[in-house]
Amino acid sequence: MKEELHLFKIGGAILEDAAELENTLAFFSNLPGRKLLVHGGGRRASRLSKTLGIETRMAEGRRITDAATLEVVTMVYAGLENKKVVSLLQAGGCNALGLSGADGNVILAEKRQPGKIDYGFAGDIRKVGAKSLSSLLESGFTPILCAITHDGQGQLLNTNADTIAAELAIALAPFYQVHLYYCFEMPGVMARIDNPDSLIAFLDPESYSIHKELGNISEGMIPKLDNAFRALEAGAATVQVGSRKSIANGTATQLLLTSDFPKK
């Protein structure tokens, strides 16, 4: 039986809340076995852009990354946020190693071609260096991946952190029993965003489609769940979406394939 791997993606609100970040990283550190973490840092990048007089432009929930913005997100994601997470984990006894996709060629991407929207230096993942990551994991390191990738030709690229988490889960599934967690400030996926009692305990592709049609699930939650379901369908053992507390107590939203969905 394959060894378990806990793969966490933490959201921007957690990075912004010092106490919650420490608690989340402590919870992550205490998980048994191999671990890997993915983070972004978009809120801090937007603030730094404003300070530098660089306009933040978004389209369909994604950042448009021109040359100046690429410099900002690289500084924030691969620099300040990554090293902050690494240092907190090291303080908690977790041997964290901060990486961008360019380090060790662990995530190779290609610049997204302009369509109806030109996202600039946005990167779509072509290949994950699963063997390199596995070697690090087996050597006792906990890789901490930021949302910066590269194209193999010297160009850094900005890649969505939710997408990175899904692609890592898919690439590492042949080596490990991967448990993927999208950890953010909410207790899970909710039918009504302002009502915690509307938490959806289980979600499969069919019920997901229905909730989208009803407008219960919308905006930024859609690309997150699209990535999550893609990882589940491509080999991740389990996928959960929720807060640190809901993941810890087993009440986070659990994604299931339709064949595994509880029958009424």
Supply φ then ψ for residue 62, to 5 degrees: -115, 145
Query: CATH topology for 4-260?
Result: Carbamate kinase (3.40.1160)
The pLDDT of residue 166 is 98
Q: Which of 142, 132, 138, 134 is nearest to 96 (CA)?
A: 142
Which tokens in the block code for residue 186? 């909410």
The pLDDT of residue 145 is 98
Q: Which residue has the tokens 């978004």?
A: 58
Contact 200, 189 (CB under 8 A): yes
Domain boundaries, the chain: 4-260
Q: Which residue has the tokens 């809120």?
A: 43
CA 210 to chain centre: 25
The pLDDT of residue 5 is 98
Summarize pLDDT for 144-196 with one digit per residue, the tens. Answer: 999 999 999 999 999 999 999 999 999 999 999 999 999 999 999 998 888 87
Q: Which of 211, 226, 230 is nearest to 171 (CA)?
A: 230
The pLDDT of residue 261 is 63
Q: Which residues make beta-bridge pairs with 199?
A: 190
Distance CA 159, CA 153 (A): 16
Residues in the chain with pLDDT < 50? none
